[in-house]
Amino acid sequence: MVGAAAAAIGAAAILLPNANASTDQPAAPKTLSAHSATQLAASLKADLGDNGAGWYLDSAKGHLVMNVLSEEAAKSVTAKGAVAKVVHNSMTALKAGAKTLRDSASVPGTAWSIDPKTNKIVVLADRTVTGAKMATLNKATGGMGPGMVTVKRSQGEFKRYDGGNAGSAAGGAAGANGGQAAGGAGNAAGAGGAGDAAAGGAGDAAGAGGAAGGAGDAAAGGAGDAAGGAGDGAGGAGDGGQQAAGPVGGSAIFGGNARCSLGFNVTVKGAPAFLTAGHCGNDSKTWTADQGGSQPLGTVSDSQFPKTDFALVTYDDTAAKPQSAVDLGNGSTQEITKAAEAAVGMKVQRSGSTTGLHDGTVTGLDATVNYGNGDIVNGLIQTDVCAEPGDSGGAMFSDDSAVGLTSGGSGDCTAGGETFFQPVTDALKATGAEIGAGGGGAGGAGDAGGGDAAAGGAGDAAAGGAGAGDAAAGGAGAGDAGAGDAAAGGAGAGDAGAGDAGAGAGDAGAGAQDPGAAGSGDSLN
C-alpha cells in the first residue's frame, strides 16, 4: 500500500512540471482572413499604444504580424493569436522621418511610405531622378541615421493613369486577357472604316484574341469601326452567367479628351452614382459610356484632386440601377458587397479599361506621391499591381470587398511596376456614398442614336467597354449607335455606319499599416 502511494507521488512529480511547461507555451498563431486580421490588429494596436510599430499580413500562412518594441509587448501579442516581431524603429520615429522627407526632399519622381515588413521608410526614385534631384534625395535620407530608410530605384516614371487620348481604346485589355470578340467563325479584319467583324466559327478580332484597340475598332489594325464612334456594348456578364445591365467596375468612361475607368457603383441618399479617380473628375464634368458622347452616364458632383484622388459621378438617369460588381474580363463579374481597409500583405485584384484584370499585393499604406506641377496626393495604398494610362479610377478589390481606386504609378503591365490607389473607405466617408447602386442584374437594352440592342450570346465586341463603340452584347443588351441592330443569338452582327461588328458567345476580354509619407512623380497624361 505504501509502495503504491509512493509510486503515485513520484508520477505526479514527473507530470507536474510538464503540465506547468505546457501552460507557458505561447499560443499558436491564428489563421485569419484579411478582414479578421484587420479587426484583431486594430484591437492590438489600441492595447499596445507606443509599444506597437505597425503590422502586416503574412498572407501565405494567414497570420497577423505585429511589430513591437519589447519582449513584454510581444507576449501580449502572441497570447491573442498574432505573431510578434520585435523591431528597432518606433512608429513615432518613422513618422518623424517621413515628415523630414516631405519637408526637405519633395523631389518629383519619388514616392515613399513606411514599410512594416522591414520597419523602415522605403523611398522609390523613378528614372527621372538624376543629378541634382538625386543629390537632394541622398542628402535628406543620409541624415536620417542607419536602419531608418531604404532607397530603391523604379525603372519607370511616376504618372497619373488617365488616358490623355480618348480615342485610345482598350486594345491592351483584349490582348492581355485573350478575349474573343466574335463567338463564331469570322476573323475581324476589314480595311478602311468598312471592315466586317463577322460572327461565326472562331475568329479573333485583334491582339491575342481580344477585340481591337484604337478608337473602338472591331477589326485588326484599326480598320472597321464597330459603331461609328458611338455605340457601346454592355459590361461583362453578371454573376450566374447574367450580363451586367450597365457599366461596372473597370468599364471605360469618356469625358472630354480623357478616358478613364469606372471604380465602383454606389448610392448617395438612394441616388445612383459611381466612384472614379479625382484627376479624372477634374478632366471633365460629364462622362459617357462611349467616345462619341452619345451615351451619357453622369455628371461629376464631387471631385477631389490633388491631396486626395477620388470623384463622385451621379448618374443622369435617376432610375438607373447599375450592378455593384467589377468586370473580370472573362465574361463574368465579381459582385461587390462592401468596402474594406487595405492591409500590407493583402492580396488584391485591379480591373481597368486599358489592361483588364491584374492581381498583386498591397506593399504600403498612407503613401504620398507627387505627380508634378503641384499635384501631390496623400494617403494612398501602394501595391505591386501593374496599370497603364486609361486604367485611372478603376476598381481595386479583394474578393467581394471594394478597396481602392486606381490613381497612378510607374511601369506598365509588360515590365511591371508600382501602382498607387485611393482608399475607397476614405472616398465613401467624404462623399456619404454607400457601396452598391440597387443591385441591377441583366435586363433591358439601351438605344443610342436609333440602334437596337437585343439580348443573346454573351460577348462584347470591344475590349473592356472602351473605344469608339462596342457593337453587340449578350445577356443584358447594349446601346448601339447609328442605325445598326445588335442581333440576338450566338452569331448576330451589329451594323454601325459602314462596319459590321459581330457578337456571339465570345467575350471582349478585359484586357505599413501605419502612416507613411510623401513621394512624387511627374505628370504624364
Q: Are 477 and 445 in contact (CB under 8 A)?
A: yes
User: Nearest CA to 442 among 473, 465, 472, 470?
Assistant: 473
What does the pLDDT read at residue 497? Answer: 36
Q: Which residues contact 447 (CB under 8 A, 6 or more apart)?
A: 453, 479, 480
d(CA 39, CA 268): 27
Residues 286-308: what's their mean pLDDT? 96
* Whether CATH 3.20.20.70 fits 91-525: no
Residues 60-68: what's their mean pLDDT? 96
Residues 38-59: what's their mean pLDDT? 94
Active-site residue (options: 115, 217, 251, 279) = 279
Q: Provide the 8-state DSSP code for 387.
A: -
What's the one-letter identity of residue 295? Answer: Q
Helix axes 131-142, 91-104, angle to 10 degrees: 150
What does the pLDDT read at residue 328? Answer: 97
pTM: 0.68
Q: Is residue 309 annotated as a catalytic residue, yes or no?
A: yes
Residue 517 has pLDDT above 60, yes or no: no
d(CA 205, CA 11): 80
Torsion over CA: 247, 248, 252, 254 (sign): positive
What's the one-letter identity of residue 40? Answer: L
388-407 tens-digit pLDDT:
999 999 999 999 999 999 99
What does the pLDDT read at residue 107? Answer: 86
- The per-residue DSSP string of 21-62 comes to HHHHSPPPPPP--HHHHHHHHHHHHHHHGGGEEEEEEETTTT
Residues 238-266: what's their mean pLDDT? 82
Active-site residue (options: 392, 398, 401, 407) = 392
Lookup: cell for 49: 499604444
Q: Is residue 520 annotated as a catalytic residue, yes or no?
A: no
What's the one-letter identity of residue 517? Answer: A
- For the chain, the structural domain boundaries read 28-87, 91-525
Query: Any bridge partners for residue 315, and if so which?
Result: 298
- Of the candidate CATH numbers 1.10.3470, 3.90.550, 3.30.300, 3.40.630, the domain formed by 28-87 belongs to 3.30.300
What does the pLDDT read at residue 101? Answer: 85
* Helices (runs of H) and strands (runs of E) counted in the chain: 8, 29
Lookup: cell for 51: 509599444
Helix axes 71-79, 34-48, angle to 10 degrees: 140
Name the E strands within 390-523.
395-398, 401-412, 416-423, 434-435, 452-453, 485-486, 491-496, 499-504
Q: Is residue 63 annotated as a catalytic residue, yes or no?
A: no
340-361 tens-digit pLDDT:
999 999 999 999 999 999 999 9
d(CA 295, CA 502): 20
Active-site residue (options: 309, 470, 495, 514) = 309
pLDDT band for position 164 (cuts 50, 70, 90): low
Lookup: cell for 446: 439601351
123 phi/psi in degrees, rounded to 5? -105, 130
